[in-house]
Structure 1
Amino acid sequence: MTTQRKTSPNAARRSDASRRAILTAAFDLVQEVGYAKLSIEGIAARAGVGKQTIYRWWPSKGTVLFDAFLMLSEGPAGDAGLPDTGDLEADLKVVLRATVAELNDPRYDEPMRALATEIAHDPELAAAYAERLDGPMKELKKRRLRDAQQAGQLAEDLDLDVAVEMVWGPLFNRWLQRSGPLTPEYADSVVETALNGLRPRP
């Protein structure tokens, strides 16, 4: 008779503590040294673990950084969806102003740009990003627009996927390309301009 070995609670806690230390180290280091100089060795040294511990869970520094973002977004806050006061324009302005504040936060700028570059060159990471982060967030955005559509605030034949890109796309493009100031006023203008084209026609 064989006895199955089970992970002890202490071992599970140590494993979770190591994982969080690694992800925190990756996020902190990429801000300090930039993505080009970020290395698995550097992450391991900062986290106080061996390189093999990192490679056991992640195949590359890009996947470590991605999971660091997921760790930061853990929690029930995103599950509630977008605000719905009945005033679609006001709700979208609140959300886009919050997005502007996040994109302008110096703590996130370098890590997010590094992740965007890595996603552009790594199909597997891009697929993981679409499945685990971008896809679920897009569904929350579509749900809010769908509710507005059902309330008669948006055109019945509106393509919600295209609508999401019209509302949120300009912010990310301006941020990524550094093509102009990213301000709350710009966010408001994007919402107003987009809704002018998305509302039902008389």
Structure 2
Amino acid sequence: MAPHRTPDSSRRSDRSRRAIHDAALALVGEVGYARTTIEGIAARAGVGKQTIYRWWPSKAAVLMDAFLDLSARQAAEVDAAGADGDYGIPDTGDLEADLKLVLRATVDELNDPAAEAPTRALAAEGIIDPALGAQFVENLLDPQLQLYVTRLRAAQEAGEVRADVDPRVALELLIAPLTHRWLLRTLPLTHAYADAVVDHALRGLLVRP
């Protein structure tokens, strides 16, 4: 007789968590955050409602964890494909080209239906729930903003960007316009707009001849 194997509870838990993450992201994309419920996530994931409540206190917490997991998986796929960096900003020596490349990628990400709904939901819920908002900033927003700080400081060291520029303030000249247009949905968020934002921002940042 084959030896009896004890079920691997950790592997089962990982499968359940992944199923819950995928269900939360899918439901928010399909029906919106307001109509997404713990019961709906549980049914979609094929788990009991109490399983979710054992790991997370609310659907917002589930969505936050799901989004962090999705980001980690995407980064792992980039690494596995042998791509350079981990969503970092390239440093080719041409700041304008590098910023336009990454802002165009940001436009694509914000316009991606799979990411748009959960990102909007987390941003809105973070305003109501300060603890969730702080987690959103710490885990999702700040790491991305730090990439801009690093690239702009490198441009300062190369003598391309003015020495008196604060990179943390300067990055807002690039990010804030895209976020504003995306949040309000007043005008299309396009590559051409991203390029224009870079052009206007650099007029104030670069060392003038």
Where do residues 162-181 of structure 1 align in structure 2 (5 Å cutoff)?
Answer: 162-181=169-188
Aligned to 1:83: 90
Distance 2:7 2:126 in 1: 35
Letter in 2 for 1:101: D
Pair 1:121 & 2:128 matched: yes
Task: Name the stretch that deviates more: 106-115 or 45-54.
Answer: 106-115
Pair 1:160 & 2:164 matched: no
Aligned to 2:46: 48
Pair 1:183 & 2:181 matched: no
Q: For the aligned residues, what is the CA RMSD?
A: 1.6
Cα deviations by residue, 1:149-175 (Å, 9 ceiling, x for unpaired): 111111111111111111111001100
Cα deviations by residue, 1:56-112 (Å, 9 ceiling, x for unpaired): 221111111112211111135464621111101001101011111111122222222
Aligned to 2:81: none
Pair 1:35 & 2:42 matched: no
Distance 2:45 2:87 in 1: 33
Aligned-residue offset at 1:9:
8.2
Distance 1:80 1:106 in 2: 19
How many pairs were matched up? 195
Distance 1:153 1:193 in 2: 16
CA 1:80/1:96 → structure 2, altered by over 3 Å: closer, same or farther? closer
- The runs of 5 or more residues in structure 1 that have no matched partner are 1-7
Letter in 1 for 2:101: V
Aligned residue for 1:73, secondary structure, equals: helix
- The runs of 5 or more residues in structure 2 that have no matched partner are 1-5, 79-84
Aligned to 1:68: 66
Task: Name the stretch that deviates more: 50-59 or 149-158.
Answer: 50-59
Letter in 1 for 2:186: S
TM-score, normalising length from structure 1?
Answer: 0.91
Aligned residue for 1:82, secondary structure, equals: coil
